[in-house]
Amino acid sequence: MDGKCFSSVYAYLFVFCIFEMHICKCNATKKKSMKKIMLSIALILTSIITFAQNETENEIQMISNSYSENPEIRDILQFEGINYLKLNFSSKNLKGKSYHLTVKEIWDGLIKTDTTIVNSSKIPFEQFQKINDTVLNIKIISKLNNRNKLKMTFKLPNFSITKEFDAIESDDYSLRNIAEVTKEKIEFGKKFYLLAYILPYEKDGSKYWCAVESSGKNIENWGNDFGIKHYLVFEMKFE
């Protein structure tokens, strides 16, 4: 429940309380009713606060940064066609949880593969199976190499994973933070769209990346909707 909703509820209850108190002051015989009203209001407020706390505890906050503060480094990344993204996940209940990152390769509007990048609970080293802090930091570095492969390195706490994916010969691939664009809630036990490595939508000689990523949540149908030959979709889940 967000702040606006809380404000509305509290305003309503405050007005209701004042109204009932006025009535009771005008009639001393309603003191018992006043006590019942106040008890009801207290129970309602307690329920609302408890619900909000539970909802907040189940949510994970994400902060992302897709650029370097060093202008020279930014220029080099841009010149080399390197995508660089830093993700910060935080929650007071994140410690002790595992995470699962997967990728779908979509060609001509069809999902060709759905594979795991990392499932921390399956890592053979026990100390890496669970998050040992209330924060999880991930860095992603990627580019199209000279063999027409999308090379991606995922730098996680204490280790990194590098993967390569087939691609078309194009300098237009761009790594997009879908979770940030859609503003979807990130919750424990719920899979969410994290990233997409996309080609642009082309129309009248122009290329549009933002039009694709901001088009909605039907992410797996972008190939058909925008005529995109190939792209990758990354999903993640904390549990």
Q: Which of 39-43, 97-101, 155-159, 181-185 has the lowest mean pLDDT?
A: 39-43
Q: Where are the alpha helices (DSSP H) in 81-129?
A: none
* Residue 38 pLDDT class (50, 70, 90 cuts): low
Mean pLDDT of the region 192-217: 93
Please enumerate in sequence order all residues whose Cβ is within 8 A of that of 81, keeping only pairs 6 or more positions apart, or say none: 143, 144, 171
Alpha carbon separation from 197 to 90, 107, 208, 216 (Å, rounded): 24, 12, 14, 16
Which single residue is written with the structure tokens 């370097």? 68
pLDDT of residue 238: 98
Answer whether 101's CB lies under 8 Å from 154's CB: yes
Give the rounded distance of the alpha carbon of 106 from its chain centre: 21
Region 163-185: what's the mean pLDDT?
Answer: 95
Is the pLDDT score of 114 beyond 50?
yes
Mean pLDDT of the chain: 84
Strand ranges for the chain from DSSP E: 59-65, 83-90, 99-107, 110-119, 135-144, 149-156, 159-166, 174-177, 186-187, 192-198, 201-203, 206-208, 230-238
Reduced to 3 states, what is the DSSP secondary structure of residue 69?
A: coil
Q: Is the pTM of this model over 0.75?
A: yes
**pLDDT at position 5:** 46
Report the pLDDT value the prediction gives residue 97, as an integer from 0 to 100.
Answer: 98
HSE (CB half, 13 Å, CA atoms) of 235?
Answer: 16
Nearest alpha-carbon partner for 232 in 149, 165, 180: 165
pLDDT(3) > 50: no
Query: 200, 174 in Cβ contact below 8 A?
Result: yes
Q: What is the pLDDT of residues 43-75, one digit of tens each?
A: 555 544 444 444 467 899 999 987 777 889 889
d(CA 42, CA 36): 10
